[in-house]
Amino acid sequence: MTEKQPSQQPYPENYPPYEDEINLIDYLRVLWKWKWFIIAGTVICAVAAMGITMVRYPAKHVTECTISLNFPGIEKHKNPDGTLFDKNQIITPAILSKAVAFLQKGNKALPLENIREIININAVILPEEKKGSYTVFPNQFSLALTLEQDDIFSIRERNQILLSIVDEYRKDFEKKYGEEPLVVIEFPVNFLADADYIDVINTFKVRTDNCIKFLDSTIAKAGFFRSQKTGDSFMDVKNDLELLNNIKISETEATIKTLKLTKNKDNLINVYRQRIRTIDVERKKKESEALIARKLLRDTKQSGRYESPKSTAGEKGGTSLVLDTSFIKDLVKEDSSALLLKTALQAEIKAKNLEVDKEFLEEEIALLNENEKEKEKEKENITYIQTGLKDIEGKIIALSKRANELNVEYLGRLVNNTVQTISDPETNATRSKSIKKIVLLSGVVALFMLIFLAFFIEYIKNTVQSTKQTR
């Protein structure tokens, strides 16, 4: 027979149950009993926290708009001219003073220091830009006007202040980078009639060289920019100028110099004679310099070498050493000889060159005097040269206009739509601390504290009652 197992009981028959055991329903009964206390206390704490936050952190009225900058170089945080870009250049004192000028009509003008305190600008970093590990230079910026009192400016005035700042910065940007100095090639009305032929040629060469330098600097910035209106590029204008300078102007210059054409031959002859006098003076100076150098060189060679005994014997058989410095003196002599020879040769060469220049000018004077006999032929040459010079003048002016028009179009495209307002001004009341978060946090903390307090009070009451019953 199987032995009968004794029935298992959770507690012995004489063991009293735990009096402190509370089922889940008991918790709910306690919460239901104290529900109004918990709700009221939570609401009071939340309202108190909200009131304290509103007093300690008053609301600020912020009017904000977003602008976008789209010019070459902003992706590298640089201005179009290569200088470092700074966001504060959008709200410089000069721009702010112009932007708030309209407030003077309504007697609401504030000192510039106060205006700068309420205007702020910050870079806008897009979410996809934050993910990258490389440095991102934003091209969008938030322009904000912050007021602690709502009645200082109306909403319309706040919006107008921000839009005026953007507009003034756009004007300043276009003026600074869209109105660069242009190459100006103009000639006086009677320039061809008054100036001598060779002077006209020299002026043409200077003006074309300056225009070519301007085009080179522009090509370095604009690259292969081509006009959508005419199809011109800066390289095309430069090539045309170089052809004009190297062919037409050079050909005319050679003709003028070969034919010795001038409007005032007597004046030109006098100029040549003055140059001859100057050459004679300079030549005589160089010849004297060469003679002096040759004389000094001859004297140096005739002086011979310096000799110095290396040792001498004393009367008593003693020996005294003497330094041999002859090699130093020889080096000095060799250096001075080379310098004198070089000076003499250079002076003689210069004197010979001046003599050649003098002969050339004398020949020029003789040719000018001989050409007096060929006045009829000279008139034909002068007519031809005058026509050619007038044609060259017209081409230079036309090419400079092409360069300027092309540059204006390039600069216009460079600054067009550079500063854009991508979001209109909006006014919002903000605080440095979030009221919602503070109210929510204080409500949750108060709820748990009050629930704990409710259970604690209920526990005290039950303990007191059970103590009375026991007695």
Within 10 A of 418 (CB to CB), how many other CB atoms are there? 19
pLDDT attached to residue 266:
64
Stretch(es) of the chain classified as CATH 3.30.300 = 60-177
CA 14 to chain centre: 97
The full DSSP string for 291-358 is HHHHHHHHHHHHT------SEEE-TTS-EEE----HHHHHHHHHHHHHHHHHHHHHHHHHHHHHHHHH
- 419-430/60-69 β-pairing: antiparallel
The pLDDT tens digits of the residues spanning 202-244 come to 999 999 998 999 899 888 888 888 888 888 899 999 999 999 9
Mean of the pLDDT values across residues 174-179? 81
Could you give the C-alpha distances from 422 to 80, 143, 168, 428, 430, in angstroms and in order?
21, 11, 16, 18, 22
Task: Give the lowest-confidence range in 18-27, 225-234, 247-256.
Answer: 18-27
* pLDDT range class, residue 358, cuts 50, 70, 90: confident
Which DSSP helix (H) or strand (E) runs through 457?
helix 435-470
pTM above the 0.95 mark?
no
Distance in angstroms (rounded) separating the CA atoms of residues 452 and 466:
21
Distance in angstroms (rounded) separating the CA atoms of residues 447 and 41:
8
> What is the sign, positive or negative, of the torsion defined by CA atoms of 386, 387, 388, 391?
positive
| Structure token digits, residue 463 | 């303990």
The pLDDT tens digits of the residues spanning 370-422 come to 655 555 566 777 888 889 999 999 999 999 888 988 888 888 887 888 888 88
* pLDDT range class, residue 250, cuts 50, 70, 90: very high
Mean of the pLDDT values across residues 441-448? 90
Within 10 A of 393 (CB to CB), how many other CB atoms are there? 18
* pLDDT range class, residue 141, cuts 50, 70, 90: very high
Mean of the pLDDT values across residues 332-346? 72
Query: Phi and psi at residue 360, in whole multiples of 5°?
Result: -60, -45
Tokens 């002086």 — which residue?
Answer: 303
Intra-chain end-to-end CA distance of the chain, in Å: 53
Three-state DSSP state, 108: coil
- 311-313/119-123 β-pairing: unpaired
pLDDT exceeds cutoff 90 at 4:
no
Instruction: Give me the percent of the chain exceeding a pLDDT of 90.
Output: 15
Contact 162, 63 (CB under 8 A): yes
* pLDDT range class, residue 316, cuts 50, 70, 90: very low
Task: Give the lowest-confidence range in 27-41, 113-127, 346-360, 375-389.
Answer: 375-389
Distance in angstroms (rounded) separating the CA atoms of residues 425 and 147:
14
CATH domain 60-177 topology: GMP Synthetase; Chain A, domain 3 (3.30.300)
* pLDDT range class, residue 304, cuts 50, 70, 90: low
